[in-house]
Amino acid sequence: MFLLYWFSLAPLMPLVSVQIKICDGVLRRHFWKAQIHTHSSIIGPMDTLGGLLDAPRARGAFALRAVMNSPWSLRDLAGSPLTLIAGVAGELWLIADDGDPVQIGPGDIAVIRAPTHYNLADSPATPPQMIIHPGQRCCDLNGNSLHEAMMHGVRTWGNDAEGSSVFLVGAYEHLSDISDRLLRALPPVLSLTHADWESPLVALLCDEVIKDEPGQAAVLDRLLDLLLTAVLKAWFGKHDSNRPEWWRYQGDRIIERALRIMHDKPANPWTMDALALEVGASRASLARRFQERVGESPMTFLRNWRMAVAADLLCQPNETVSTVAEKVGYATPFAFSAAFKRVRGVSPQAHRAAAL
């Protein structure tokens, strides 16, 4: 259990010393409190959720503190793969094109998945006064930029620097930062009230987002990853009817073992016979139980997991298509490239070029 926790947070470890230096001990206390809370709230038995939640790796994510005074309303057409809205002070409404309006107060949080378009406003009745376009470009209804007029310091934006409604926006801007499996598992909009969960991460992100210091973008990326992980774990834990099929395997030791093996060793040349032998089940029993509890066959899960790992590795400047192919179990770059394009819709080279 400890090893899983360490693996899941491994990308954060190099940043710990940076954060301690930046904040002279203050962030040290908050960061480790956040880590301990995340450890206790999201780490349980090895499960597919653990694999999915290890996937978010923000790289230059969009992070902003918004301050608004009524009346206000904005239309978001940015199309970010995943966006978090966290209430800090006052109240606001999230009005998605499909679905009921969601009120967000202090401590409440919402997650919006692309391609959902939505309004944020002081009231569902307030018409949009501005539009957020792809690239987080903000314009009025006539297309004129509002960037300069609405910026109030480091990552602080709004129609009034002293606005009574304060909220945080964190957006993953690249599809490669979020696995396809995670996006498919989420509804267009999910939300938690402050009564549904408790975490120091929102307050910590609120403190950090307005700092302009060396390495701060990387700090914000990792905090956003932690926040998203904690939010999704809490939401899945509370909403039984919305849990995806792969959640239901929990308690089945055969499936748990199979998932752990594929998660930890994607490069192995797994076959159904080899996997069944490793987990101590017959081939037919493993195939049936895996399909029933995870919602897909073991080999389909393995293929998709390999592609998720590959997509992350391709974003690393020291990796090549050949080295990534080897690390995810393909004998040749050609075979890997064909499989990657079949699953992701683009070639490894195109994915890498878009991500870097």
| pLDDT score, position 247 | 54
| pLDDT score, position 214 | 86
Average pLDDT, the chain: 81
Which tops the pLDDT comparison, 248 or 24? 248
pLDDT at position 9 over 60: no
CB 327 within 8 A of CB 265: no
What's domain 62-207's architecture? Answer: Sandwich (2.60)
Which tops the pLDDT comparison, 252 or 51? 252
pLDDT at position 286 over 90: yes
Alpha helices in the chain (DSSP H): 2-8, 13-23, 26-42, 48-53, 147-150, 180-185, 201-209, 216-238, 253-264, 272-279, 283-294, 298-313, 321-327, 333-344, 348-355
Share of the chain above pLDDT 70, in %: 77
What's domain 247-355's architecture? Answer: Orthogonal Bundle (1.10)
Highest mean pLDDT: which range of 173-177, 211-215, 220-224, 267-271: 267-271
Phi and psi torsions of 337, nearest 5°: -60, -40
**Residue range(s) occupied by CATH 1.10.10.60 in the chain:** 247-355
Mean pLDDT across 162-183: 82
**Residue range(s) occupied by CATH 2.60.120 in the chain:** 62-207
pTM of the model: 0.66
Which tops the pLDDT comparison, 192 or 244? 192
pLDDT digits (tens, 9 = 90+) for 295-339: 789 999 899 889 888 887 887 888 999 999 999 999 999 999 999
| pLDDT score, position 235 | 87
